[in-house]
Amino acid sequence: MNVSEETATATADGVAVNASLILAELAGVASDLDYGQVARLAEEVRSADRVFLAGAGRSGLVLRMAAMRLMHLGLTVHVAGDTTTPAITDGDLLLVASGSGTTSGVVKAAQTALAAGARVAAITTNPSSAVAGFADALVVVPAARKTDHGSTLSRQYSGSLFEQSVLLVTESVFQSLWEATAEPAEKLWLRHANLE
């Protein structure tokens, strides 16, 4: 069933209420995150020879944003599945995101990385998942999984809070690593894509 014009009207007040809902849920996650886990993730990223990122769907899109930010820091960064992504090896880090921790392509990527001698970092809601079990650094996000439609953790649809939280975690990692470099924004900007 498609949403018809008669049943789907957005008012300014309704949009404001929903924006407040989203911000409140994200603030709740932020207050419950283990920032020791996030700091460990930042250290894994900082010390890696190269950083690879892998995720499916919207989580994968958020990791593509993180890849750009890490590239701005001057790190060597690759997104799994891109045509020019090289083989992962010893000394590299694979950063994955999966709300369930069971996404088959993400699990396979983690297994491949470990077999190649790379380290694995994972962001997930499920600390007992396969992906969490593979992780050298684990960030557990206290958010609903995308199939948990009756969750009391979020009123948002199908994993939205997790994906927003992945953005929060990866931007926090970027901001912390950037501040540690004391490089001005203008220097990072020189690395920004110029073939747009």
Which of 25, 43, 163, 179 is an active site residue? Answer: 163
DSSP alpha helices (H): ranges in 34-159? 35-47, 57-72, 104-115, 130-134
Residue 190, phi then psi, degrees to nearest 5: -65, -20
- Give me 104's structure tokens: 């088959």
- Give me 83's structure tokens: 């045509």
Cα torsion for 34, 32, 95, 157, to the nearest 10°? Answer: 170
- Give me 56's structure tokens: 């499916």
Residue 163 a catalytic site member = yes
Residue 79, phi then psi, degrees to nearest 5: -105, 125
Which residue numbers are catalytic? 163
